Amino acid sequence: MKIDDDPYQASCGRGHRGCCSVVGPPSPENDWACFVIIVTVSLLLVLAIVAIAELTYHEPSYSVDLTGYDGMDPGGAARIVSPSFNVTIRMNNTCVDSARVAVVYSGVALGWARVEPMDCAEGRWTKDVEVVARGGGVGLSRRLRDRMASDWRSSGALELDVSVVMYRVGGQIGTDIPRTFDGKVKMIRDQKIQKNDRLIS
């Protein structure tokens, strides 16, 4: 029989589905082998892409540090205080354009601030952001002041919570969704606050 008389051969000649000349002469068996090869190669490529992505991607991480404070004596705080806290936000494998910071003790906000370094927009990644969180006329209950004084006398330090809400406003879809990070810092005796030119009034 001539090749033109073979429907399978004729379909291969016209480039129809069912041909795989790489593995041998056209036949149903070779067609199946071709399919297996294509699927195997595709899976290997997907696995290679996933492996490369895992090796090159690093999960963003955040931390906070308190480098100074002023305006409040934890060992004998007044009923009304106006403290300030020098907070450093440390970021790895990420960036921030805008951030809101609150320094809290036992559920009471002692200082707060907003900072706009615009690092994502400027292409600056993995950078520390410094901000001075200030509180004006913060009222402290007697119970809170007693607890604060007790913590200060017993350990010489006061543990504070720092809440940070970060934004990326680089114009990409979804980048304006806030990311929230909560950390803990300690006020230590004789810390002195430093002026921060990134503070936004």
pLDDT digits (tens, 9 = 90+) for 141-190: 999 999 999 999 888 889 999 999 988 775 554 455 578 889 899 988 76
pLDDT digits (tens, 9 = 90+) for 90-115: 888 888 888 899 999 999 999 999 98
What local confidence, expressed as pLDDT, does residue 125 receive? Answer: 73
Structure tokens at 111: 């200082």
What local confidence, expressed as pLDDT, does residue 195 receive? Answer: 43
The average pLDDT across 185-201 equals 57
- The label of the residue with tokens 């909560």 reads 182
Residue 23 has a CB neighbour count (10 Å cut-off) of: 15
CB-based burial, 92-103: b 16+ in 10 Å, e otherwise = eebbbbbbbbbb
Domain chopping of the chain, boundaries:
3-56, 61-188
166 and 99 Cβ atoms separated by less than 8 Å: yes
Go through the chain and tell me how many residues it has: 201
Residue 25 DSSP label: S
pLDDT cut 90: percent of the chain above it? 32
Closest C-alpha to 106, from 69, 71, 152, 70 = 152
Domain 61-188 coded CATH 1.25.40: no
25 band by pLDDT with thresholds 50, 70 and 90: low
What local confidence, expressed as pLDDT, does residue 161 receive? Answer: 95
Q: 61-70 and 108-115: which strand pairing?
A: unpaired
User: pTM for the complete prediction?
Assistant: 0.64
Distance, CA of 141 to CA of 157 (rounded, Å): 20
